[in-house]
Amino acid sequence: MDPAYVTVHMEEDRSHWWFRGRLAVIVATLRRALPRRRVRLLELGCGTGNVLAALSQFGEAVGMEAHGDLAAAARAAGLDVRAGHLPDDLGVTPGWAEVVLLLDVIEHVDDDVATLSAARAGVGEGGLLVVTVPAYRWLWSGHDEVLGHRRRYTAAELRAAVERAGFRVVRVSYFNTLLFPLLVAVRTWKRLRGDRGHDLRRPAAPLNWLLERIFAFERHLVARVPLPFGASLLLIGRR
């Protein structure tokens, strides 16, 4: 990951419309998928902890983050973040978690199946896997390169990787669907201009608020019905 992006990530992950909208979708999905009791959740690659902080409403939430600056920011916010690295060190004992989350993580690693298999070791029998990834190779841009992505996925590709790691797929859906035409237009325009930068420059406050509202509205959809296309994918699996 480009060091300059790390700085942007630390500044924007609690304010930028994309992070806030994604969080709304993930939380709504978990509310429908998790049992009506407190559970143990492990977020691998938790970054600065914007999702991890929200996971505490569902039970005991622990994060693992390999990047020192991101982990330090999460700990400064009072979160339980362990040092570790994928796929060899999850920061917890095998089988500790009832839910393991890899949120925009596996696209960064050389071997996604090995990383998913490691996550399987961290969750007990019958536990849940929650994965989000960027969608569609044809959307590849300088944004992916700055973030250190290795790949983008189709639903079939993500399903295949998760099943090869030993999970049973419960459901998979695209999301970031309502804004998808705008995102495609922006990516196309940047490609024509030769712009190789990332897409996380926060727009003016009124526009940031509007985009967040549109994205977050998908929390009413994704948790109930699979969406047929979008800029991201969300998968729930079970060990």
Domain count, the chain: 1
CATH number at residue 76: 3.40.50.150
The domain in which residue 192 lies consists of: 3-238
Query: What per-residue confidence (pLDDT) applies to 152?
Result: 98
How far does CA 51 lie from the centroid of its chain? 9
Cβ neighbours of residue 33 under 8 Å, at least 6 residues apart? Answer: 128, 130, 170, 223, 236
Please tell me the least confidently modeled range out of 59-73, 132-146, 196-210, 215-229.
Answer: 196-210
Number of CB atoms found within 10 A of residue 175's CB: 27
Q: How far is CA 108 from CA 18, 103, 132, in A?
A: 18, 11, 12
What tens digit of pLDDT does each residue of 96-154 get? 999 999 999 999 999 999 999 999 999 999 999 999 999 999 999 988 988 889 999 99
Q: How far apart are CA 117 and CA 87, in angstroms?
A: 8
